[in-house]
Amino acid sequence: MSETPVIVRHTDGDRPAAGHVRIAACQYGVTTEVEDNLATALRMIDLAAAEQPDVIMTPEFVNHVSWYDNRDQAWERAITLDGPWIEQIGAKAREHNVWILINGIVRRDNGRLTGTNIMFNPQGEIAGQSSKQVLMGSERLHFDAGNEITPLVDTPFGRTGMYSCMDGVIAETPRSLAVRGARVLLNTLNSFAPDEASLHVPVRAAENKVWVISANKVDYLVNEGPRNAVAEALKCPVETLLGAGESMVVDPSGTVVAQAPRRGEAVLVVDIDPSLGDDKRRPDGTDVMAARRPDVYAPIANSPVGRQAGAGAEELLSAVVQPAADGAAAIAEAATAVADAVTKGAQLIVLPELFCFADGLLGGVLSADAAARADAAIEALTGALAGSDAVVVTSLPRGNAHAGVVIAAEGVIGEQKQIHAIARHSAWVSDLGDDIAIVERSWGRLAVLVGDDSIFPEAFRLTALRDADVVAVPLDVQEKWEVTTGLKERAAENRVNIVAASRPRTAGASYVVPLTSDFGMWRSERAKTFDGVISCPDAVEIAPTPGTTVVAVHPAEAINRIVTRETDLVDGRPWALLEPLVTAQA
């Protein structure tokens, strides 16, 4: 570990500006020596306290390196609520007049062992606890998952939520905190995965429009004894098992405000304005929390039944078309582009949302000939598909609904109504969808999400629960995060291929996320050496210029949802604790 921790500051000065809060995230490593680890925690807290923060947080599992020989060893080295960890961390909170969050394995009187975030107030009292809900890999051998809905902590700077590592690799736990009014989410990490910082941490801020602050480990996450054996079993260099660092602060737009280095001890000190987490509006004025449909999300809180459908095709050629023309003139151009894509072997072609209406109807009002124009588009696209088994997906007005349509040579074979009401279509959309439709093709199961439905993590989760292999998304990109972290995370956490087509916008354009066999830490079929990445797929970001792009996706890969041993990204969601997601909030 570093002798001289780095201090990374993004502050207003000696003290935060009025209404702002200073948060210090400590980044460091731990060993198998519990007493030494307590000394390290106290040292890092003292170092952080010199920056005069309001909150200090540590990484996950600070009492002991995260690898144990057995449950008895984990039990013996756990934190107890009447032991020295609680006593001495509480004393530091009083000494420095600061809120402190630590995370460790906690031994419970009822025999449970939980990975728990413990928040101390400035009086040194425990103000809140949250136990990890989604255990990963070897954690399942020794620990017990949290069995209570994670509480929020009321602090002087607003309602604050806490979650840990794997809880944030899927959407549900952070989401359940945000929908109950959290402004700030504190994410303790024990991770060697570079995709924590590049994907999983920032996307939770953007999709929920809250602040997210993470504190990660450095140094080895597996102790010296089994370290080489674990690296050999994973077929990776032993250095892959080092904590990935890169603790960060992300604002509610998904922008990384400040970040610690990849290696070495550090204290990340950032002043934030928690009130920014109160504004849930999209650029068009849509409130992303008010627009949620908890009744539609009910299946997310049902007991998992496992994937029922078989595997799709190994490969599917898909295409996205970004027309140069706009309005009615786009119909002929799109038909020509579709016919060309079919000759190149594409079996799924996706056009942007409302591609044949001027500027995607950003003005919000349909023309009088809307129904006729939609019919003309369907007729032209059907003709372009003649003699093929390919399908085209776009969105069109269908009565009072904005619907995704799946068009084949024989006509429309599937429709998916927009599920969420959004401001820019409010003048004409009153008929919303209540379910996810699946279209069966020879290559697999196709779902469609229309436009802004793709920003709601619950909607994509429903496609996974319907065993979708590929999700087509005709959309109109409004915010940068949608195509930097949003769609990639939807593919990652649900194990679905995504083919999304948008008009080129300032925020981004079309985007394709193919699943590959380079997934699963222990998977023998991996094409590449394991590099520490948990679940971040590669993606193809389409240039913001007119044209057609053909990309291969892999429907068969959707059946593999096991990120590591006994950790299923879909069925492993904390389904019994998701009442906040399926119940309307006051």
- Asked if residue 76 is part of any domain, the answer here is yes
- Asked if residue 391 is part of any domain, the answer here is yes
- The angle at the Cα of 486, spanning 481 to 489, to the nearest 5 degrees, equals 145
If asked whether residues 383 and 267 sit together in one domain, one would say: no
Joined together, the tokens standing for residue 395 give: 């969105």
What tens digit of pLDDT does each residue of 376-417 get? 999 999 999 999 999 999 999 999 999 999 999 999 999 999
If asked whether residues 266 and 331 sit together in one domain, one would say: no
- Asked if residue 303 is part of any domain, the answer here is no
Distance CA 237, CA 11 (A): 38
If asked whether residues 407 and 459 sit together in one domain, one would say: yes
What tens digit of pLDDT does each residue of 415-461 get? 999 999 999 999 999 999 999 999 999 999 999 999 899 999 999 99
Band the pLDDT of 6: cuts 50, 70, 90.
Answer: very high
DSSP for 393-436, written as a single string:
EEEEEETTEEEEEEEETTEEEEEEE--S--GGGTTT------S-
Q: Residue 191 sits in which domain range?
A: 6-276
- Asked if residue 586 is part of any domain, the answer here is no
Band the pLDDT of 22: cuts 50, 70, 90.
Answer: very high
If asked whether residues 54 and 156 sit together in one domain, one would say: yes
Band the pLDDT of 526: cuts 50, 70, 90.
Answer: confident
- Asked if residue 169 is part of any domain, the answer here is yes
Report helix, strand or coil for 95: helix
Distance of alpha carbon 101 from the chain centroid: 23
If asked whether residues 316 and 224 sit together in one domain, one would say: no
> What pLDDT, on the 0 to 100 scale, is given for residue 522?
85
If asked whether residues 50 and 168 sit together in one domain, one would say: yes
**Percent above pLDDT 90 for the chain:** 90
Place of tokens 């016919």: 339
Number of domains, the chain: 2
Q: Which strands sit side by side in the sheet containing 158-164, from one edge to the other?
A: 153-155, 158-164, 184-188, 211-215, 248-250, 256-259
Considering the chain, what is the average pLDDT of its residues? 95
If asked whether residues 177 and 95 sit together in one domain, one would say: yes
What tens digit of pLDDT does each residue of 496-515 get? 999 999 999 999 999 999 99
Joined together, the tokens standing for residue 245 give: 């660092």
Helix residue ranges, H only, 97-244: 139-142, 172-178, 195, 201-208, 224-234
Q: What is the CATH number of the domain that holds 360?
A: 3.60.110.10
If asked whether residues 542 and 396 sit together in one domain, one would say: yes
**Statement: residue 232 has pLDDT above 70:** yes
Last residue of a domain, one of 276, 294, 322: 276
- Asked if residue 569 is part of any domain, the answer here is yes
Q: What would you report as the CA-atom Rg of the chain, rounded to the nearest whole angstrom?
A: 25
Percent of residues in the chain assigned helix, strand, coil, to nearest 5: 30, 25, 45
